[in-house]
Amino acid sequence: MARRVAIVGAALSNTGRVDDKTVWQLHHQGVTRALADAGLTKGDVQGFCSCGTGTLAPVELAEYLGLRPAWADSTGVGGASWEFMVEHAVAAIATGQVDVVVLSYGSTTRADLKRGRRRANLSFGASGPLQFEVPYGHALIAKYGMATQRHMYEFGTQIEQLAEIAVSTRYNAQFNPDAYYRDPITIDDVQSSPMIASPFTKLHCCIRSDGGGCIVLASEDRARDCAREPVWILGTGEAISHTTMSEWEDFTESPCIRSGADAFGRAGVTPDDIDVCELYDAFTGMVLLTLEGLGFCNKGEGGPYVADGKLRLGGELPTNTDGGGLSACHPGMRGIFLLVEAARQLRGEFAGTPRQVPDAELACVSATGGWFSATSTTILGKG
- Whole-number Å distance between alpha carbons of 359 and 274: 11
pLDDT digits (tens, 9 = 90+) for 334-343: 999 999 999 9
pLDDT at 125: 63
Q: What residue spans define the domains of the chain?
A: 5-115+206-381
Helix (H, G, I), strand (E, B) or coil at 38: helix
Count of alpha carbons within 13 Å of 155, Cβ hemisphere only? Answer: 24
Q: Which residues of the chain have pLDDT under 50?
A: 1, 121
Q: Domain 5-115+206-381, CATH 3.30.1490.20 — does that match?
A: no
pLDDT (0 to 100) of residue 341: 98
Which is nearest to 32 in space by CA: 233, 283, 260, 212? Answer: 212
pLDDT at 131: 82
Residues 182, 209: Cα–Cα separation, whole Å? 14
DSSP secondary structure string for all residues of 54-100:
T---HHHHHHHHT---SEEE---BTBTHHHHHHHHHHHHHHTTS-SE
pLDDT at 121: 47
Contact 288/137 with Cβ under 8 angstroms? no
Cis before 230 (ω within 30): no
Instruction: Give the pairing type, strands 100-107 and 211-219.
Output: antiparallel
- pLDDT given for residue 128 in this prediction: 80
Q: Distance (Å, rounded) from C-alpha 160 to C-alpha 158? A: 5
